[in-house]
Structure 1
C-alpha cells in the first residue's frame, strides 16, 4: 500500500534509518546533464534541487542527498500519474542512487514531505530516441518471465478474492476472516506493478490514515475494519466487496499492459522491501486483523522472484552483490519461517503475538536486505 504514512510510522522509520528524503522545490538551469545520465537531487525539509530538468532518455540515474530532517518519498511520474520509478525510506543525512530506464517524453518528479499527499512537483523532459538502452537476451528473457509471473499472480488472486467477497456478501464474518489474508497474497507479491497504473492501488489497498482529501475509503482494509473491529458486515460492506472484485478484475486485465523492464523489476523489488519496512514490521498495514506476516512473506517472495530472474546478469556484473543478496534473502525467509503457525488460516502467527524483540530482529533483517537490494537496478543497467 503506497499511501501516506502517519507520523507514528514516520517516527519509526527515522528511528530505524529506513526513512526518506524530504521536501522538493524547483530549481534548475534547464540544461541537460551533458550525457552523463545523472540527475543530482538535494533535498531539505522544504525544497529539492534538481541539477537538470531536461536529460537524455535511456538509463538515467538520480543521485539523491537528503539534507532534511523529515520523511519524504521521491517519484518519477509519466502522464496519468503512472509510476516510472520511486524510492521511499532514504534517511536524513544519507545518499542514495536510483537507476531507471526512461523513454523520451514529459514526466513529473514529485517529492512528498512526510511521505504523503500529492507531492511538490516539477516537470522534466527526457529527450532523444532512447536508443542508448541495449538489453541482453538474458534480460529480455527475465522481463518476459516476470511479466508472465505478474499475470499469473493476478489470475490466481481473482478466485481467492471471490471466496472472500462471497463470504462478505453472505454476511459470514468468520468465513470472511479466514479468506481475507489469502486473498491478498498475489497482490502483495506484485504490488509495484499494480501501483504503476496510478489509480487502482488507492481503491483497493488504502488504509484509513492514508486517504487523500475527499477520497472515499474502499477496498480490503475498510472491510478488514468491519470484520475485526466492528465484528459485523453492513449493507455498505457488501457493496464494497463487489467494488473490490470489480477493481481487482480491472487490475487483472491491465497487468499485461504494464511497463516492465529490468530496472522497474529491480526497483520494484526494493519497493516491496520498503512496503515491509513502513507497514508490515510496524504492524500498521493489518492493524485490525494482525495478518501482517503473510503480507510480509508475500512482499519478500515477490522481491526474490524479480531478483532471481535478474540474477544471471547481476552475477556477471556484480558477483559480490549477488552473494550478499543470496545471503540476506535466505536470512529473512528463515526468520519468517520461525513465525509459521499451522493452526492459522493463513499459515502465520498473528502479528500481535510477536514481541518487540522479535519485531526488531525482523526489522534488522529487512534493513540488511534493503541496502544491497537498492543496488540491483544499477547492476543490471550495466552493459558489459
Structure 2
C-alpha cells in the first residue's frame, strides 16, 4: 500500500526506519555529478531534472530529496503506468534509481508526501547506439517472474472469494478467519499491481491514505475498509456487502492485467526493494493492519516476494557482484529465521498477532529488515553491470 500519512505516535519511529532503510545524506547509493546519472531534485513544490532527453537502455536517476516530506520518484509511461519507482525517500536523503527504458516518451514524477500525482517532467528516451544484448538468463528470469506474478493473482481470487462470501453472508468470524490469507498473493507481488496505477488505491488503501478531498464514507474501498468493519465495528452492513463484491471485481481486473505488466530485470530488483520498504514503513510499525493485527502475515508475504525476485536474478547478479549476493543470502536467511519465531503453525500462515509482539521484538524485526534492505538496494545495479 503506497500512501502513508504519519501520525504523531509513529512519526519518530517511521522516520528512523526510513533513514535506516533508504540511507542518509552522508551514506548514499546515489551517484554524483559526472557519473552519467540524470540528477532529479525533489522538493515540496517542484521536481527538477538535469536532462529531459537521454539514450534508451539502462538509465540511472540520481535522486535527492531537498523537501521536508517523504517523497516518491517515478518513471512513468504517458498513460501513467509505472516503469520504475523509488518510494519512501526521506528528507535530506539521496538515492539511485536504475531502470530499463525503450525509445519513447516518458515522465519523471516527484510525489511529496507520496500522495497524488505530484510534480512531473516530460522526458524522452532516444535511439542511437543499439543497446547491448541482454543476458538470456535475464530474459528467463523475467519470464519466470511473470509466471510467478500471474500464479499469485490466480491463486488469490478463490481465497478472496472465501473472504468476500463470508462478508456477504454477514458472518464476522468466518470473514476474520479468511481475511489475512486472502492478501498473501497480493502482498508477494504488490509492486506489479502498483505499476498499473489505479488498482492499488481501490483495494489496498488505508483510511489515512485517501487523497485530499476524498470522503471515507463513500470513497474508501478495499480490504482495509472491510478490516475496520470486522475488527473495530464488529458488524457487517449492506455497504460492506457491496464493498465485498467490488473487491472481487477489482481483483479480477488485477488478475487479468498481470500478464500485460511491464517487467524488466531492473523493475524486478527495484520491486524487491519496494517490498522491504513496505515492511519497514507499514508492517513493522503496525500501521498496515491496525485493526486485525495480522501484520506478520503481510510481512512474511512481502519478504517471500522479494526473495523470489532476488532468486531469479541471482545467477547474473552473483557473477557481477559475488560479495553482494553472499550478503543477501545471509540477510534473507536471517530474516526468514527470525520471522519463523512468530509462526504459530509451521505448516500454515498463522502468525502471532502483532499487538502481542513486544517493543524490543519489534525493534529486532526492524533491524533485520534494515540489514537486508541496504544490500538489496544495490541489486538493480548488480544486474546491469
SS at match of 1:6: coil
Contact 1:20 1:71 in 2 (8 A): no
In 1: Cα distance, 2:206 partner to 2:75 partner: 23
CA contact (8 A) 2:64 2:92 kept: yes
Q: Tell me, yes or no, if structure 1 residue 66 matches structure 2 residue 65.
A: yes
Compute the TM-score of the two structures, normalised by the length of structure 1: 0.91
What secondary structure does 2:51 align onto? coil
1:364 equivalent in structure 2: 367
Aligned ranges 1:128-143 → 2 under 5 Å: 128=127, 131-143=130-142
1:267 aligns to 2:266 (yes or no): no
Question: Is the counterpart of residue 86 in structure 1 residue 60 in structure 2?
Answer: no
Say which SS state the counterpart of residue 118 (structure 1) adopts: coil
Shift of 1:13: 2.8
* C-alpha displacement of 1:212: 1.1
Distance, in Å, in 2 between the alignment partners of 1:99 and 1:42 is 16
Q: What is the alpha-carbon distance in structure 1 between the residues aligned to residue 130 and residue 163 of structure 2?
A: 46
Q: What residue is the counterpart of 1:26 in the other structure?
A: none
> 5 Å matches for 1:46-61?
46-61=45-60
Q: How far does residue 272 in structure 1 lie from its aligned partner after superposition?
A: 0.4
> Residue 15 of structure 2 corresponds to which residue in structure 1?
14
Structure 2: gaps of 5 or more residues: 24-32
For the Cα contact (< 8 Å) 1:280–1:295, is it kept in 2?
yes
Equivalence for 2:28: none
Shift in alpha-carbon separation, 1:12–1:53, aligned structure 2, 3 A: farther
CA contact (8 A) 2:296 2:352 kept: yes
Secondary structure class of the residue paired with 1:75: strand
| Counterparts in 2 of 1:37 and 1:102: CA distance versus 1, 3 Å | farther
| SS of match in other structure, 1:341 | strand
Stretches of structure 1 that go unaligned for 5 or more consecutive residues are 22-32
User: How far apart, in 2, do the equivalents of 1:212 and 1:344 lie?
Assistant: 39
Q: CA deviation at 1:71?
A: 1.6
Q: How many Å apart are 1:346 and its aligned residue?
A: 4.1
| Correspondence for 2:299 | 296
Question: 1:282–1:301: structure 2 CA closer, same or farther, 3 Å change rule?
Answer: same
After superposition, the Cα gap between the structure-2 partners of 1:157 and 1:90, relative to the gap in structure 1 and judged at 3 Å, is same
Counterpart of 1:221 (choices 220, 224, 239) is 224
Q: CA 1:260 to 1:129, structure 2 compared with 1: closer, same or farther past 3 Å?
A: farther
Q: Which residue of 2 aligns with 1:319?
A: 322
Match of 1:28 in 2: none
Range with bigger deviation, 309-318 or 136-145: 136-145
Q: Which residue of 2 aligns with 1:251?
A: 254
Tell me the equivalent position of 1:101. Answer: 100
Measured in 2, the distance between the counterparts of 1:127 and 1:20 equals 30
1:339 matched to 2:338? The reply is: no
Name the CA distance, whole Å, in 2 between partners of 1:279 and 1:163.
25
**CA distance in structure 2 between the aligned counterparts of 1:331 and 1:308, rounded to whole angstroms:** 16
- Aligned equivalent of 1:286: 289
Q: Deviations over 1:112-159 (max 9, x none)?
A: 222323212222121227841521111111111101101110111011
